[in-house]
Amino acid sequence: MKKIISLLLVFTFGLSSCEKDDICDANTPTTPRLVIKFYSSADPSTPRSVTNLRVVGIGPGADPNGIVFNENGTSTTKYLANGNTISIPLKIDEDITGYKFILDSDDPNPDVTNSDIITFNYTRQTSYVSRACGFKTIFLLNEQTTELPNTSGYIRTDDPDTGDGVWMKTLNLKTRNIELENETHLEILF
């Protein structure tokens, strides 16, 4: 009888150590990416698709191929975005992230390809999600500063290596808080 009671106690304690959050649900919000939507500069209410946009991180440790937008693509096409919305990650261990946005990057004619650089400045806040999901980082893009005139959390420049002029005509910051991926954070008109 004592063996049965001992076995039941061990079994009960074993079940109580398992919790619902041992598996991170795919719908649980984790560290969000920055969502960028593209619009026509001629009609700012009309979404406009980018063509073969490659987004490459700037700085040490950045993948020279860029961000993977299509896991099932070829060695070249998986780094290319075609559409009017993209999502890009911000660094969780630094307060600044820079990207080179290369429009028509797959075009063999170098006169068609155009690249601009955007540097995002922000503060970070880490919060606990659950035991299975761990921690997530929330970003707050910085306000305009006197050191960086005409900025609001980002700096846009022409790529100094190409000197091809900016293809991004206007950048509209929609929200400084980067907490969720179901909203647009930045609009780019071109």
Q: Is the pLDDT score of 171 beyond 50?
A: yes
Q: Is the pLDDT score of 146 beyond 50?
A: no
For 58-106, how does the pLDDT look when each residue is reduced to its tens digit (9 = 90+)?
988 899 999 999 999 898 999 999 999 999 999 999 999 999 999 999 8
Break the chain into its structural domains and give their ranges. 21-189
Question: What does the H/E/C string look like for the chain?
Answer: CHHHHHHHHHHHHHHHCCCHHHCCCCCCCCCCCEEEEEECCCCCCCECCEEEEEEEEECCCCCCCCCCCCCCCCCCHHHCEEECEEEECCCCCCCEEEEEEEECCCCCCCCCCEEEEEEEEEEEEEEEEECCCEEEEEEEECCCCCCCCCCCCEEEEECCCCCCCCCCCEEEECCCEECCCCCCCEEEEC
The residue that leads in pLDDT, 180 or 19, is: 180
Q: Is the pLDDT score of 119 beyond 80?
A: yes
